[in-house]
Amino acid sequence: MRTLRFLLFSLWLQKPWRLLLDMLWDAGMSFSGAGARLAALKAKGLSLSGFRCSRDVFVSSGAIVSLPTQGSIHIGPETFVGRQAYFDNHARIEIGEGCLIGGFVRFLTATHDVETFELACRPVRVGPFCWIGANVTILPGVTIGKGCIIGAGSVVTRDIPDWSIAYGVPCQPRRERPRPIRQRTATGREVMLHD
Ligand SMILES: CC(C)(COP(=O)(O)OP(=O)(O)OC[C@H]1O[C@@H](n2cnc3c(N)ncnc32)[C@H](O)[C@@H]1OP(=O)(O)O)[C@@H](O)C(=O)NCCC(=O)NCCS
168 lines ligand 1 (CB under 6 A): yes
Number of helices followed by number of strands (H, E) in the chain: 3, 21
Helix pair 16-26, 34-48: axis angle to 10 deg:
140
Active site residue 74: no
**What's the CA-to-centroid distance between 180 and ligand 1, angstroms?**
22
Cis peptide before 170 (omega within 30 of 0): yes
* Per-residue pLDDT tens digits of the chain, which is 195 residues long: 667 776 666 666 655 666 666 766 666 667 777 777 777 777 777 776 668 888 888 888 788 888 766 778 999 999 999 988 999 989 999 999 999 999 999 999 999 999 999 999 999 999 999 999 999 999 999 999 999 999 999 999 999 999 999 999 999 999 999 999 999 998 889 999 998
Q: What's this model's pTM, rounded to 2 decimal places?
A: 0.90
CA 66, chain centre distance (Å): 14
Work out how many domains the chain is built from and give that number: 1
**What's the CA-to-centroid distance between 17 and ligand 1, angstroms?**
37
Domain range for 142 is 2-193
Residues 159, 167: Cα–Cα separation, whole Å: 12
- Identity at 29, one-letter amino acid code: M
Instruction: Look up the CATH number of the domain holding residue 174.
Output: 2.160.10.10
